[in-house]
DNA sequence: TTATAATGTAATACG
DNA sequence: CGTATTACATTATT
């Protein structure tokens, strides 16, 4: 019989010839049972088998394959869900990017206008009052007539530059940006703006 | 080598049929052929079959199954890639959100300080010159001493509000936000900011 | 060791 | 051919 000990030579029974597709009735009932219990007991398998005119072995195998297929479809579902989420997030990110750029433009405009305003103020000051007060206004809480000037002078070098740098990391359509770099840039930026004395707290 | 004899399998089918799994040699060669051509011609299948001592039918089926498995693994790969991309994008979006909020804070601070500055200016003006010039400075390109005031007055109602609204849509960790809503908000915002006369273009 | 989940493979049926 | 399905086998796990 088994010439080589490895081969399970049940050649007679091993025929795949008796393979037929199950009838719709059989499959319907199997599906129904699967929804109730995806892992039936041995007793249940026998009952289902005799009810459908199948071998218990066939029923067991059908459930095994069914579970496998179910898992495959589940993965496919997860893929579609994830794909949808990705597109949503991409749109969201795109909006944020545009908004971000607009805000940067706003700040730049503000700075430019303030610079010109400052020039005029200086020009006017020079004609009348030439004393440039480096007074104690910074540590008081009451605003003075030079608030805008002080604010915008320190704003330009300390705040604006880090912002431009951090934004520079998100260029165009770079789908594969190193995540480490991003976190670093964010952390650096947070340190710069949060751990440094803020210009608006005089 | 060329055992082109057709009859090798004829009479002794039983022995050949008992072996379900192909030998490693057979599989190795099949894999090699698959890398060269995943969909071989009929002639090629016959050649491979005779070379490996298999039925052409078996070779054809092997290639079919191989293609199916290959596709499954490919889908799984795409899933992993997409997952990685999603995480990257999520981090990116998170950074943008923080940066965005920071920029909004900056603008708010600027506005607050400018308001106080404006109050002081008015207080000083009232003592000397009480005429508020709505002059033609807006259409000229040369800045005047009131640039900052004009700018910040119009900034508050026209620009700031839409920005806050659009940001409000991206709250917390809402992974399942309706994409339509977002696109709508973005479009609304773009219309508001792009199709309306900009405050810095006097 | 038995049982089975998980995975792979060969073959079949159908569109 | 591509896809789904049937049946079986192998491996790992408990």
pLDDT band at A91 (very low <50, low <70, confident <90, very high): very high
pLDDT band at A124 (very low <50, low <70, confident <90, very high): low
Q: What is the largest CA-CA distance in chain A?
A: 118
Record: contact B151-A106, CB cut-off 8 A: no
Are B129 and B165 part of one and the same domain?
Answer: yes
Looking at residues B19-47, what average pLDDT do you find? 91
- Residue B169's SS3 state is coil
Are B145 and B179 part of one and the same domain?
Answer: yes
Residue window 74-103, chain A: list those with CB within 8 Å of chain B: 75-76, 78-79, 82-83, 85-100, 102-103
Cα separation, A128 vs A106, whole angstroms: 33
Query: If 0-12 CB within 10 Å is exposed, 13-18 middle and 19+ buried, where does residue A133 land?
Result: exposed
Are B68 and B131 part of one and the same domain?
Answer: no
Name the domain count of chain B.
2
Q: Pick out the nucleotide with least CA–C1' distance to A67.
A: C5
Cα separation, B118 vs B133, whole angstroms: 15
Record: contact B170-A96, CB cut-off 8 A: yes
Q: Which helix (H) or strand (E) holds B153?
A: helix B147-155
Backbone angles phi, psi at A135, to 5 degrees: -75, -170
Residue-range definition of the domain harbouring residue B65: 9-73
Question: Which chain A residue has its CA at the smallest distance from B88's CA?
Answer: A179
What is the DSSP code string of B94-149?
HHHHHHHHHHHHHHHHHHHHHHHHHHHHHHHHHHS-------GGGGSSS--TTHHH
Alpha helix (H) ranges present in chain A?
24-36, 42-52, 56-127, 147-155, 161-168, 179-194
pLDDT band at B95 (very low <50, low <70, confident <90, very high): very high
Q: Which one is predicted more confidently, A40 or A131?
A: A40
Q: How far is CA B50 from CA A147, A202, B12, B35, in A?
A: 92, 90, 16, 19
Q: Pick out the nucleotide with least CA–C1' distance to A14.
A: D8
Q: Give the pLDDT confidence of B101-135 residue by residue, as tens digits.
A: 999 998 888 888 777 877 777 666 555 444 444 33
Domain assignment of residue B85, yes or no: no
Residues of A in contact with B103 (CB under 8 A): 100, 103-104, 107, 163
CATH, residue A47: 1.10.10.60
Q: Which two tokens stand for residue B115?
A: 């308001």
- Residue B1's SS3 state is coil
pLDDT of residue A123: 63
Most A-contacting residue of B19, B58, B106 (CB-CB within 10 A), to test interface: B106
Are A90 and A138 part of one and the same domain?
Answer: no
- At which of A50, A84, A105 does a domain end? A105
Cα separation, A137 vs A23, whole angstroms: 90
Domain assignment of residue B81, yes or no: no
Alpha helix (H) ranges present in B38-55?
42-52
Cα separation, A151 vs A199, whole angstroms: 6
């Amino acid at each position: 019989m088994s010439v080589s000990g490895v081969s399970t030579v049940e050649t007679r029974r091993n025929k795949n010839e008796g393979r037929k597709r199950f009838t719709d009735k059989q499959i319907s009932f199997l599906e129904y049972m699967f929804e109730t219990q995806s892992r039936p007991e041995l007793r249940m398998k026998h009952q289902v088998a005799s009810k459908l005119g199948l071998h218990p072995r066939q029923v067991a195998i059908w459930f095994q394959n069914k579970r496998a297929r179910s898992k495959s479809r589940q993965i496919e579902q997860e893929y579609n869900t994830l794909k949808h989420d990705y597109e949503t997030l991409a749109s969201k990110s795109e909006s944020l990017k545009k908004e971000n750029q607009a805000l940067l433009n706003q700040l730049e405009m503000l700075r430019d206008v303030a610079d010109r305003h400052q020039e005029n103020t200086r020009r006017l000051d020079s004609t009348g009052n030439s004393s440039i007060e480096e007074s104690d206004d910074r540590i008081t809480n009451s605003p003075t007539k030079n608030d805008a000037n002080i604010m915008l002078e320190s704003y330009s070098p300390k705040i604006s530059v880090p912002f431009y740098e951090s934004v520079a990391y998100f260029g165009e359509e770079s789908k594969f940006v190193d995540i480490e770099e991003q976190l670093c840039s964010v952390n650096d930026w947070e340190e710069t703006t949060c751990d440094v004395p803020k210009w608006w707290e005089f």
